[in-house]
Chain A
């Protein structure tokens, strides 16, 4: 009986402790692609922050819009100054929950992340299909989704309308490690 009680408390303690654990990705990668017949535009941000609370399955992402790296300097200038206005709206954020996430599962899981994405002063509800893997004890979360330029009130001058796709493809990959703080 005493042994059973001890086992119960050990499991309870482990469960609580595990539930409070958070993991962090300081160098998450978010890239986007715009394909048109006139021009292909690709940009990468390699310093995206993300934190997952393994107990509540909540996920938060934050990125600096001016940290996207483009192939050409002119693309970066247009992106920051004319389209996303990164001096006025320096960050894009996502806050959501990973539905039915089991942090103890060692196999890969495909889950839906539901949450709110805020960029350029516009907030949109998103549902993103996400692949979650455990590599050497750390979580790797990756996926892709599409965003409509007009949804985020990004105004493209008529002269450049043919250069930028109406639908932008966004890829992300985060490698998490234990959050020490």
Chain B
């Protein structure tokens, strides 16, 4: 029923549409990385992580790498309408780890409070006065009980 030319046209159209759909998917892909299943490059405790930065070793961790760390919660807040956990690194007056939590972590935060120990996975962005991690997820939680 279809001639050779028609088959070619239909094939080309399917190919163009497929390409357009793939391009559209990548163009509209939300700026969000789900770290729940992601494999971390390093596991560290918060104290060790911050000791390196406080010693001026700013290249200790590569920006954009996925890091898992454990430490004591200093504060949980909702500044800027985001869920953020501050992890302390031994000396409460020194630097902290700022963890900007993924929105789907909201439920896991309700029964957490300062001085609880927590294990978090996040994307390392860099160090200002504190180490900054985005897209954070709770990877394992332990309380001090």
In the complex with contacts A46-B100, A74-B26, A69-B126 CB distance below 8 A: no
Residue of B at shortest CB range from A173? B80
| Residues of chain A contacted by B32 (CB below 8 angstroms) | 73
| Residues of chain B contacted by A181 (CB below 8 angstroms) | 93-94
Which of B79, B126, B128 has the most chain A CB within a 10 Å cutoff?
A: B128
| Residues of chain A contacted by B92 (CB below 8 angstroms) | 180
Q: How many residues of B contact A (CB 8 A)?
A: 28
Stretch of B39-47, B105-113, B129-137 contacting A (4+ beta carbons < 8 Å): B129-137
A/B pair count, beta carbons within 8 Å: 73
In the complex with contacts A47-B132, A66-B64, A72-B28 CB distance below 8 A: yes
Q: Least Cβ distance of B137 to chain A in Å?
A: 16
> How large, as a class, is the contact surface on chain A?
20 to 34
* B126 touching A64, Cβ below 8 Å: yes
* A73 touching B29, Cβ below 8 Å: yes
Is B82 engaged at the interface, CB distance under 8 Å to the other chain? yes
* B80 touching A67, Cβ below 8 Å: no
Q: Least Cβ distance of B20 to chain A in Å?
A: 15
In the complex with contacts A69-B134, A90-B126, A47-B31 CB distance below 8 A: no
Residue of A at shortest CB range from B133? A47
Is B2 engaged at the interface, CB distance under 8 Å to the other chain? no
User: Which residues on B are within 8 Å of A, measured CB to CB?
Assistant: 26-32, 63-64, 77, 79-80, 82, 84, 86, 92-94, 96, 98, 100, 125-126, 128-130, 132, 134
Which 6 pairs from chain A and chain B are nearest by CB?
A49-B128, A64-B126, A46-B80, A70-B31, A67-B125, A73-B29
